[in-house]
Structure 1
Amino acid sequence: MQTHFTTAQLEDPDVRESEKILRACVHCGFCTATCPTYALLGDELDSPRGRIYLIKDMLETGRAPTAEVVKHVDRCLSCLSCMTTCPSGVNYMHLVDHARHHIAATFKRPLIDRVMRRALGLALPRPKLFRALMRAAGLAAPLAGLLPGRLGAALSLVPRRLPAPSPVDRPQVFASEGAKARRVALLGGCAQQVLAPEINEATIRLLTRHGCEVVVAAGAGCCGALTHHLGQDGQAFARANVVAWTREIERGGLDAIVVNASGCGTTVKDYGFLFRNDPTLAAPAAVVAALARDVTELVDEIGLLRPAVAVGRRVAYHSACSLQHGQRVRDQPKALLRAAGFVVVEPPEAHLCCGSAGTYNLLQPELATRLRDRKAAALESVSPDLVAAGNIGCLTQIAAGTALPVAHTVELLDWATGGPRPRSLPA
């Protein structure tokens, strides 16, 4: 793609990176075939190729975008399916993130939109605040069906019962069972601590059972993805993680930094790029990014213990977009589930997003609901006993669209190798 940035514009490292990405695009349109919003709407401007044209024009002019441009960029899920399909290696993830930050800096959204985005960026990364807001929202949840648009959609996702905070989600070290083979840090996350703390508990049990000493590092928390993809500044969260994990690396070494929410994992693996121009953090951030592993990657490297429980259940595996497209982790989760004694079945349209996509199901509820229902129908079509996924957002979204039990992949692996039955599964 030909570009027309000025020399002055190209002095900005973000513009320089975006120009390189734009020049890699050859307009082939392969991306349209796998884009969820194009599949739903059939509008070229709601495809990656169409958005690339809009972003190019917006960045080249340097002006505030129109409301129409913002609408089409906002509709992007950042599922990154286009990156899997693209034969030219276009890094759409970095391009659309730059576009969102440009929009945030130059476009004045309607008041209700600004308030909601600010509230999401403030609350979701902070577990204590998020928990308090969820409890308050629970009082209004019965009214979800009566309220329009985003508010009703948000309340419909509030769980009927909020789990108690877990004691594992504070700085500490969990000793390995038997001889220590690895020392790893676990990203505790943010929203997951509130919505499903049992995922971190299962992860720690599974890893310690497999010879890992697990460190929950002081100072580590939200990965920064939620705010970053809202066009807000997520670097403070990312910086805190780099500092906390670097401290652990210097103190006792780390063999891996384990992430059990795939959306977070995609972001942590990108810390090297995020801090590429920071003279202080560029090197340690690159080290952190290189150590980051999805939990299934690490367990696959270690080798799963012989199952202790005969499960034999039929599992429809939902491959989270951030795992299959963002991290290119596709085979390990399914192989581990099979090794644990589950019968793994894959649904049709496995490449398409479920509609969760961070805060997408809150900000674009109509499209998110259509994608959720399409995903639920695909999962149900293979007649499973339950659904497994590796991302808290996907689990929450899918559970709202089907009566099938849903569980994190790590909960099932923990159960099969001696841990408790996941609380979402019937006896």
Structure 2
Amino acid sequence: MQTTLSESASQLPRAAEAESILRTCVHCGFCNATCPTYQLLGDELDGPRGRIYLIKQVLEGNEVTQKTQQHLDRCLSCRNCETTCPSGVDYHNLLDIGRAVVDAAVPRPLGQRLLREGLRQTVPHPEVFKGLINSGQVFRALLPGTLQSKLPRSALPAKPRPMVHRERQVLMLEGCVQPSLSPNTNAAAARVLDRLGISVIATREAGCCGAVDYHLDAQAVGLDRARRNIDAWWPGIEKGAEAIVQTASGCGAFIKDYGHLLASDPVYADKAKKVSALARDLVEVLRDEPLEKLGIHASQRLAFHCPCTLQHGQKLGGAVEALLTRFGFTLTSVPDGHLCCGSAGTYSLTQPELSRQLRDNKLNALESGHPEVIVTANIGCQSHLDGAGRTPVRHWIELVEAALP
């Protein structure tokens, strides 16, 4: 696509990157065929091709309006379009660049500002978030249905973690909301890895991965969180940790981008690249191990929801399904498995109507094979889908751990 950046846009730190991405797009429109919001709304500007054109206009110096902002806000950042694109357009990075420019030019209404700031002050802070969840459970009956659906229905308490320190060790990101919404997930992962001779070293100093701030108009804050995590993990890396494991694919996708996002930072560029190289979704660690040692022979009937951050962001579609099949679980067919469930980080709160439509469509597809349980690999998807009050939704590692002899 022919592009001529305006003088002001050409001064942006990522101007060359934006121009390169724009020139990669051939405007074929294949991306619209798999875009969840385009399918729902049927508006060209609510599909990737239209959003790319809007960002092009902004970077060429054309007027920026609230309508521009709205169309970019409606994007789920699911990256389905990247999987579909024959030209390899790096859409999610272009979207991040475009959103930052638009948000700097268009003041948000007070309600949006309060919501976004409220999310930023709660979600990335585990203790604050835990307090809200606990209070919500106490007053659950008094809350409106929209808030009740955000509370866990029946989160299993965390089982004890192994105390033995193995020779092989990995670091693990504990996460922001997962310890409150699904406290047994990381414990289950640690117990399974221990059976394979791998110890999980929790790094308490590592906090939120940075994705929440980064995608809510605070990119600089998100990158500062990335730097703090790098500092927290670095001693463990120097001691020989094999990997930095994530049980939430959303966090994993963002950490794998640290190297790119901090490439121009003279202090952190090399360390960020190393951290991204060591970042592994849990399934990447397990699939290379001698799983027969676990002695699992399961028989439950499951539907697997593959999060967008796993299949499109990390290109690991099919990996968990293959692992569960090796363990003996029966996996049902899921029509349109490539489509987003509508969770998308904080999207279910910033775009609730679209999010609910996507959730209900996804649940209809997941339940079409009549599974006993739906499993997934990302806490956001898990909480969002389970909030509908239909088939129970769990993290897949909990069912694997429960099947250990």
CA distance in 1, matches of 2:118, 2:278: 32
CA distance in 2, matches of 1:162, 1:307: 25
Tell me how far 1:279 sits from its aligned partner: 0.2
1:187 lines up with 2:170 in the alignment: no
Residues 24 and 89, structure 1, Cα contact 8 Å, conserved in 2: yes
Partner of 1:254: 241
Give me the TM-score of the superposition, normalised by structure 1. 0.89
Any residues of structure 2 matched to 1:179-328 within 5 Å, and which?
A: 180=167, 182-232=168-218, 233-250=221-238, 252-328=239-315
Residues 100 and 230, structure 1, Cα contact 8 Å, conserved in 2: no
CA distance in 2, matches of 1:328, 1:217: 26
Partner of 1:351: 338
Give me the TM-score of the superposition, normalised by structure 2. 0.94
1:398 lines up with 2:397 in the alignment: no
Which 10-residue stretch deviates more, 355-364 or 155-164? 155-164
Which 10-residue stretch deviates more, 128-137 or 383-392? 128-137
- Which amino acid in structure 1 is aligned with residue 30 of structure 2? F
Partner of 2:317: 330
- Which amino acid in structure 2 is aligned with residue 74 of structure 1? D
Tell me how far 1:93 sits from its aligned partner: 0.9
Residues 103-136 of structure 1 deviation map (CA, whole Å, 9 limit, x = unaligned)? 3322211111100100101110100111122233
Which 10-residue stretch deviates more, 75-84 or 218-227? 218-227
Corresponding pairs, count: 403
Any residues of structure 2 matched to 1:73-88 within 5 Å, and which?
A: 73-88=72-87
Partner of 1:22: 22
CA distance in 1, matches of 2:139, 2:57: 43
Partner of 1:10: 10
Any residues of structure 2 matched to 1:54-203 within 5 Å, and which?
A: 54-61=54-61, 65-138=64-137, 141-145=140-144, 153-159=146-152, 175-176=165-166, 180=167, 182-203=168-189
Tell me how far 1:173 sits from its aligned partner: 7.9
Which 10-residue stretch deviates more, 29-38 or 233-242? 233-242
Tell me how far 1:8 sits from its aligned partner: 5.8
Tell me how far 1:347 sits from its aligned partner: 0.4
CA distance in 2, matches of 1:385, 1:155: 23
Residues 195-233 of structure 1 deviation map (CA, whole Å, 9 limit, x = unaligned)? 111111011111111111211124211100111111213
Residues 12-44 of structure 1 deviation map (CA, whole Å, 9 limit, x = unaligned)? 331221111111000000000100001111111
Aligned-partner SS, 1:315? strand
Residues 280-333 of structure 1 deviation map (CA, whole Å, 9 limit, x = unaligned)? 000000000001110001100123234545430111111100000000001221
- Going from structure 1 to structure 2, the CA distance change for 1:103 and 1:142 (only over 3 Å counts) comes to farther
- Which amino acid in structure 2 is aligned with residue 61 of structure 1? G
Partner of 2:360: 373
- Going from structure 1 to structure 2, the CA distance change for 1:40 and 1:201 (only over 3 Å counts) comes to same
1:385 to 347, 369, 372: 372
5+ long unaligned stretches in structure 2: none
Partner of 2:399: 412
Residues 58 and 102, structure 2, Cα contact 8 Å, conserved in 1: no
Aligned-partner SS, 2:77? coil
- Going from structure 1 to structure 2, the CA distance change for 1:291 and 1:62 (only over 3 Å counts) comes to farther
Residues 69-128 of structure 1 deviation map (CA, whole Å, 9 limit, x = unaligned)? 111111100010000000101011111112222233222111111001001011101001
Residues 173 and 216, structure 1, Cα contact 8 Å, conserved in 2: no
Residues 375 and 396, structure 2, Cα contact 8 Å, conserved in 1: yes
Partner of 1:425: none
CA distance in 1, matches of 2:6, 2:67: 25
- Which amino acid in structure 2 is aligned with residue 185 of structure 1? L
Aligned-partner SS, 1:13? coil
CA distance in 2, matches of 1:345, 1:162: 24
Partner of 2:37: 37
Residues 376 and 402, structure 1, Cα contact 8 Å, conserved in 2: no
- Which amino acid in structure 1 is aligned with residue 340 of structure 2? C
Which 10-residue stretch deviates more, 125-134 or 21-30? 125-134
- Going from structure 1 to structure 2, the CA distance change for 1:14 and 1:324 (only over 3 Å counts) comes to same
Residues 320 and 391, structure 1, Cα contact 8 Å, conserved in 2: yes
Aligned-partner SS, 2:374? strand
CA distance in 2, matches of 1:412, 1:163: 11
Aligned-partner SS, 1:234? helix
Residues 319 and 390, structure 1, Cα contact 8 Å, conserved in 2: yes
Which 10-residue stretch deviates more, 53-62 or 271-280? 53-62
- Going from structure 1 to structure 2, the CA distance change for 1:395 and 1:34 (only over 3 Å counts) comes to same
Q: What is the CA RMSD across the aligned residues, in angstroms?
A: 2.1
- Going from structure 1 to structure 2, the CA distance change for 1:404 and 1:161 (only over 3 Å counts) comes to closer
Aligned-partner SS, 1:87? coil
Question: Once the two structures are aligned, what percentage of the paired residues are identical?
Answer: 45
